[in-house]
Amino acid sequence: MTEPRLDPAHRARYARQIRLAGFGETAQATLLESHVLVIGAGGLGAPVLSYLAALGVGTISVIDPDIVELSNLHRQVIHTEAAVGARKVDSARERMSGINSSVDIRTHPVLLTAENALELLRGADIVIDGTDNFATRYLANDACEILGIPLVWGTILGFDGQVAVFDSRSGATLRDLYPEVPAPGSVPDCSVAGVLGPLCGSIGSAMAMEAVKMLTGIGTPLVNAVAVHSSLDAGWETIPVSPIPGRERVTDLRAHLVDYAQHTFGSESEQADGHGPRCEAKGRDLGPAALDWAQLGPEATLVDVRDDDEISAGMVPGATHVPMAELLDDPSRLPRPDAAETTDGVGVALYCRAGIRSARAAAQLRADGIAVTSINGGYLAYLSQAADRSV
């Protein structure tokens, strides 16, 4: 079988990888014809997207509703100081186009949800998950299982990281590695636990390599295995993962909505009406514990509970900023809206980046009889909603 012919520009650009034994023009041509979708343009997405563009992957889609903040730059090396305040997908596209202008880059500045996941992922040859929360990880995993698309997965925490390839067509998935979805807030993200930039580079580069192996057929991908990396001792350990016998396949995202509700306060049954649980304390109705942005009345008083360094890139217009730690230490800092002006029992609504911290803060304040609501999805959901309106 003869290898496909590449044009002179391709041979010149990709010469060092084409001449690799077992790679050649066949593998390069496959990359040029491939479509890789990356969820997240942050710490893991930055090296993944950079290397995919440099490798010559023909079409790269990136999903991320977030904007670039100053605190991102120590690890999200695809972004620059000049991009602070810009959408991450736009910043990533500019950098990737600068690396390789021949790549078709498609951007989606939206939050991945059960409503849009199948539409966004359909048509990709492989999906790479560079997100930082379990809700989106399980959603991506399940959507890939339904669509029959391999998923390259990576995660970091502290000084350690993990990489795996989940391919439901022939092997284990995230639900075989972690059958039980961790409770919201039980595992800290990097905004709480911290992270070093080079670890993102190590794990992200490994994820990009797994994608290349899956697309081109070279090497042995991490299917039915998870590689665990400890950056402090430079160690890698590969642990086998087997499909759980008899595990029911995921065929409908709607059957697993509770697993994607990490940004929601309360149980699935409590959220069934879309307004969250209501409770009474100290003789008064505290109203719903959680709402979506679309359910929030215009009279609600918004409080941004993110840290100081997180708001440099923007806030919801009209919101008051009170960092979560300061708010819980001194609840009197909450604005006091006129109850007569509120609708649906919502007076003060808290939001953070993704809805996790605001849900915890709301739970603590409500336990003390203070009527507050958490906004599902936080600032990312707000940005995603704004992006949908602009389309």
Residue type, 282: K
Q: Is 229 helix (H, G, I), strand (E, B) or coil?
A: strand
CA angle 118, 121, 124 (to 5 degrees): 140
Residue 312 CA to residue 104 CA, distance in Å, equals 31
Largest Cα–Cα separation, the chain: 80
* Token representation of residue 77: 């090396």
- Given a contact cutoff of 8 angstroms between Cβ atoms, the answer to whether 139 and 47 are in contact is no
CB atoms near residue 122 (< 10 Å): 12
Q: Alpha-carbon distance 376 to 354, whole Å?
A: 7
Strand ordering across the sheet containing 348-351: 290-291, 372-375, 348-351, 301-304, 320-321
**Strands across the sheet with 235-240, in order?**
104-108, 59-63, 35-39, 126-129, 151-157, 160-166, 225-230, 235-240
Here the tokens at position 334 are: 């909450």
Q: Is 92 exposed, middle or buried (0-12, 13-18, 19+ CB in 10 A)?
A: buried
Residue 99: how many CA atoms within 13 Å on its side-chain side? 22
CA–CA gap between residue 358 and residue 363 (Å, rounded): 8
Task: Please give the structure tokens belonging to residue 305.
Answer: 């509970």
Tell me which residue has tokens 């929601």: 264
Q: Is 352 a catalytic residue?
A: yes
C-alpha span between 19 and 34 (Å, rounded): 20
Among 144, 190, 200, 279, the active-site one is: 190
Measured between alpha carbons, how far is 339 from 335 in angstroms, rounded to an integer?
12
Q: Which of 144, 200, 279, 352 is catalytic?
A: 352
Q: What residues are annotated to the active site?
A: 190, 352
